[in-house]
Amino acid sequence: QVQLVESGGGLVQPGGSLRLSCAASGSIFSIYVMGWYRQAPGKQRELVAKLTSGGITNYADSVKGRFTISRDNPKNTVHLQMNSLKPEDTAVYYCNAGQIVTAGGYVDDYWGQGTQVTVSS
């Protein structure tokens, strides 16, 4: 069983910064891709950023230049540094881990429980 535990959400003023973290635990041998998605009220969940174990990144156009994703492969953690936050970044942010090899076999993906990010003055 794999668990993803997120931290770092909260309330921040426009222009401010937040850092989200996500730690994967369980009998994990490897995780190919880790990333962050978000879902605002009334909208579909969308990709924010993802990063493969080989270092390939993918960012949503709306966050390029403001957000930076990083990961510690041996510790199975992923971070999202969010700078210059805007009200439209307000959403629940979900951690995702994909293509996981565990002691029990291959798992397609897991999701965290979500953490609220609110950007407001």
Q: Per residue in 32-86, pLDDT tens?
A: 999 999 999 999 999 999 999 999 999 999 999 999 999 999 999 999 999 999 9
Beta bridge partners of 91: 117
For the stretch 85-118, pLDDT in tens is 999 999 999 999 999 999 988 888 899 999 999 9
Cα of 107 vs its chain's centroid, Å: 18
Contacts of 7 (CB under 8 A, 6+ apart): 20, 21, 22, 115
Q: How many CA atoms lie within 13 A of 79 on its CB side?
A: 12
Does position 1 have pLDDT exceeding 90, yes or no?
no
Name the amino acid, one letter, at 29: F
pLDDT for the residue 48: 98
Q: What is the distance between the alpha carbons of residues 78 and 7, in angstroms, rounded to a whole number?
A: 11
pLDDT at 34: 97
pLDDT at position 108 is: 87
